[in-house]
Structure 1
């Protein structure tokens, strides 16, 4: 095994050596469930071998209060070959929103906050303009209908990790109204969740991580779910994000750390724990035969608070509740939330009328992230008795492989085009080296290396490429998302429309 990837036969063996559901639990299932679980397991094995680009996958399927399958497949990290099982930690990204929203809803049932009153009524030190504080409620923030913008907050929270409670509270004053999607209009963004928890901490001192643990994770006994990467790593194996743009997947250069785990996307969970989460959703707060959340609380988060009308893959979305997308898969109502970040992908969904829930977590999201959704769709269609199931999903996998290859080819072309660009900096690289500061976005360090120049912001670091304008660079601080830096004279640069000044 090399230090970079599992090679040759070891890579194939990693796919073959998969951990499925416990044999004892399998033996106790009704025949119909045992047959369905066997078919689902066989499909996942076949799909991963066929698609190749996905190193590891964790899956759970819940039917009412019964678990049909909880399983792990493949590897968590191609460098080590650590196998995925039902206790492997996966980053669930934006599927975190349902946990954060439920925490606020639980507090509201005790009268500790009010979801529908203006945040200015309880957050006296909100930092927002008086007009915004009076016009905006927690429901607005949690259902993506607040119509607000504040890019520095979302950038620091999710990407650079360069923040403190005091910094974030100070940035609240930069919040602006979005003219294109005003108050009451749905626009998906992390900002509402970031604002809600920054306001909470400013007013009460309560960190969002502690709120989610106390309000949701502890009652549901989700003992292997955490908002701290460092804690998850102490518990066991945590899947690394990967990109499958080459012959074998490679670990993403950007991974989540404690500082970039935030209230709109900041939980690590396992297949076992996600089974408990789905059971709570399907049974309105009852799990293991015990009521752990007040009656009606869970169901209330599934009710849409704002309308939308769009398609996402195979799904029709018609609204958004408190941390949940509302819509349909085919004719069936589907409450769902997905998430992705730098090589990680999560699919969490359930059908309240059929009382079936599925969670799929994979550690690739560049060329084959759709495998998470295809796997969930297979589960729903298998349990619905779809007549052409195997033929249809063989075609789905074939189409996914074709899209994988098209994406890989496009990436190769794009890299070649960028590599052919001339270097447009007029001065030697050393002339640009230094630490540049901006009150909104923090610090950017320009570092000279044997390859050229690296750009570092907080936990992010990447090599710069030539861009098309004079005195400009292109950099992928977030992999595969190019951003432009323009140097303005000897001591300043522009990034994201903001001016950074070099330290003396």
Structure 2
């Protein structure tokens, strides 16, 4: 089928009612998704935007196309474009070794000489920097000077050497820590000045605390209830955990501007915002990958963008997810069509974000029997919801049957333990042992290793914490591959 480069006027006008009806039907049948916001864009600009449901089950404030949602890893394309703009002006060289400009950096010399900013931004640097990535995205336990010192913890990635694709947050975090020290601009200032302000994305920000202080209605991350109603996630973002690999709040209407710029190589509403070729340069593959995400195949990664396909169509995209929030941002260059979907549930039915986007692409492709096809896909998503719910409940029941492997009373393990990941506090509570690192906090469950417990410091991501006991006293605990020493 030969597709037009832009939707016809009739198609553009007809999409909204059909799309709204589909989303309302899907949300009604899934039952667990509090709210969703969507924007559809073609080369002429915004085709349709809408909001559905509520931003927060407790406040019941309605979602609109101007409700800010956390877009998580969809932030990466903004950070990468900001650095690409500096490269275009000759202020930095994306392809130069880190060692050529990050003088005095604690990064081991041989590693700084082996990788560039381009490598870090395209996930092929061969480096890891877990302490920085953990602190800025999860615990919030950091200062700029501390992050600079922690660049010394950069290590070679044995699982993915230089030139091999492995998706992580660490590359973006390391890149922006080094850039901030060299050029004096933190990633927030950089993205705002290079991308958000020029595009007029006034509702997009890394400062979530300011939104709350101003009383702005923001979408809260939620998890579909296992035995009851959908509830707020216990882990929400703050300024200290908004970071260059995942740290923007945005709206459907703002993302419409972003997508228009992607489709037109930087022209928005007839105005050239970015130099010709700048945005297009971020769509060029820097490294091969072989993978898929749901119905989408992936064959490469550019600067902040996955390159792949949906069916026969080339689709450039970046998704994001964190603790009850889910974002889908994608566009098809040949069809001059893009979609952004923001959703505030991501345990049982976060895939609705992809389904809504696919409906748009298939609607404009004139897919036969579209409504019947998508009724069946909603049925499949409902079945997946039930399967996931049953799996989570079964897992909890299985873990509840585990015997205790700690040899000492709970009180013996309490105290403060320190590693490069941060400060781990262990205390007793009415529910049992509680472990916390900065903003992260979890009650321990029994685990299978000697002297161990299982904790979900990050919701639904359980990990073992194994204590080291010497002469009848705990002296250390290993968590996430790091040894925390008792103080």
Q: TM-score, normalised by structure 1?
A: 0.92
Pairs within 5 Å for 1:204-223: 204-223=183-202
In 1, are the aligned partners of 2:15 and 2:48 still within 8 Å (CA)?
no
Residue number in structure 1 paired with 2:221 = 241
One of 193, 197, 201 as aligned partner of 2:180: 201
Post-superposition shift, 1:400? 0.7
1: distance between equivalents of 2:379 and 2:24? 15
Residue number in structure 2 paired with 1:16 = none
One of 251, 258, 261 as aligned partner of 2:242: 261
Superposed CA offset, 1:346-380 (max 9, x none): 00000111111100010111111111001100000
Residue number in structure 2 paired with 1:362 = 343
One of 141, 146, 169 as aligned partner of 1:162: 141
Residue number in structure 1 paired with 2:480 = 496
Residue number in structure 2 paired with 1:413 = 394
Superposed CA offset, 1:201-249 (max 9, x none): 1212211110000000000010010111112322611111111142421
1: distance between equivalents of 2:206 and 2:264? 25
One of 185, 194, 206 as aligned partner of 2:164: 185
Post-superposition shift, 1:468? 1.7
2: distance between equivalents of 1:475 and 1:443? 16
2: distance between equivalents of 1:500 and 1:145? 29
Post-superposition shift, 1:177? 1.4
Pairs within 5 Å for 1:15-414: 30-233=9-212, 234=214, 236-246=216-226, 247-414=228-395
Post-superposition shift, 1:68? 1.5
Residue 457 (structure 1) aligned with residue 437 (structure 2): yes
Residue number in structure 2 paired with 1:443 = 423
1: distance between equivalents of 2:15 and 2:37? 17
Post-superposition shift, 1:53? 1.5
> Cα RMSD between the aligned structures?
1.3
SS of the counterpart of 1:488? strand
Q: Which moved more, 1:358-367 or 1:144-153?
A: 144-153
In 1, are the aligned partners of 2:148 and 2:177 still within 8 Å (CA)?
yes
In 2, are the aligned partners of 1:245 and 1:366 still within 8 Å (CA)?
no
1: distance between equivalents of 2:461 and 2:442? 11
Superposed CA offset, 1:458-489 (max 9, x none): 00111111112232111100011111112212
Large movers: runs of 4+ above 6 Å: none
Could you tell me which runs of 5 or more consecutive residues in structure 1 were left unpaired when the two chains were aligned: 1-28
Post-superposition shift, 1:425? 2.3
Could you tell me which runs of 5 or more consecutive residues in structure 2 were left unpaired when the two chains were aligned: 1-7
SS of the counterpart of 2:240? helix
Q: Which moved more, 1:33-42 or 1:207-216?
A: 33-42
Post-superposition shift, 1:408? 0.5
1: distance between equivalents of 2:215 and 2:339? 24
Superposed CA offset, 1:153-178 (max 9, x none): 21111111111111111121221212
In 1, are the aligned partners of 2:129 and 2:174 still within 8 Å (CA)?
no
Residue number in structure 1 paired with 2:455 = 475
**Aligned residues between the structures:** 474
2: distance between equivalents of 1:427 and 1:148? 39
Post-superposition shift, 1:148? 1.2
Distance 1:191 1:155, change over 3 A: same
In 2, are the aligned partners of 1:225 and 1:232 still within 8 Å (CA)?
no
1: distance between equivalents of 2:406 and 2:197? 54
2: distance between equivalents of 1:432 and 1:131? 40
2: distance between equivalents of 1:174 and 1:406? 40
